A = this chain, B = another copy of it.
């Protein structure tokens, strides 16, 4: 490299900002590499190339490949969380609203696109060999699980029903979502997000018959 005064003493704040910028950049490169090459063929070299940086920098900021990958998964999760949280913030407090918001968020283009789905499944695929991945999932998904569960409890309560099976209902909806994601990921030609929403809407309508029309009208497009 030619020229520019290389590294004069810089204030701490500036150094910190540079660090977080670089970390973001490298994590983003890691996720891109996972999409392109898969987790098995993602190496420090592919990450560095994707980032337009040297291999050494990645190690400098993350110490080793293993923690880099874990951080990348965390980062991917944060984006997912932000998406559904924004959706929750923008909706009412009625449990139907909250469930609708959570479900719509999951099939939002922002979160339910081929790249994002590939990343999820790449990490899940290694979760058995690297339990840390499953732990991260459990940890970072706990609040969403709680939101869905609470909404189910609340809805049953309002309808004057027993709430003991709320956990089962919540697990059912979330599992259905996961399965629809897998299908969209593996064979996208067999299922679109729009159809996935319709399937989920029917499922919810059956779980909460009193609110069937609300779920259907608000989750199914062109209706």
* Interfacial residues, chain A to chain B (CB-CB below 8 A): 35-41, 114, 118, 121-130, 134, 137-138, 168, 171-172, 174-183, 185-187, 190-191, 195-196, 198-199, 202-203, 205-207
Contact = CB atoms under 8 A, between A and B. Distances in A.
Given A36-B129, A178-B178, A180-B175, A168 B199 contact: yes
A138 B178 contact: no
A143 to B, nearest CB: 15
Given A168-B195, A171-B199, A174-B183, 15 more contacts: A38-B125, A39-B126, A40-B126, A118-B128, A121-B128, A122-B125, A127-B186, A138-B186, A172-B199, A172-B202, A175-B183, A179-B179, A179-B181, A203-B206, A206-B207
A124 B39 CA distance: 12
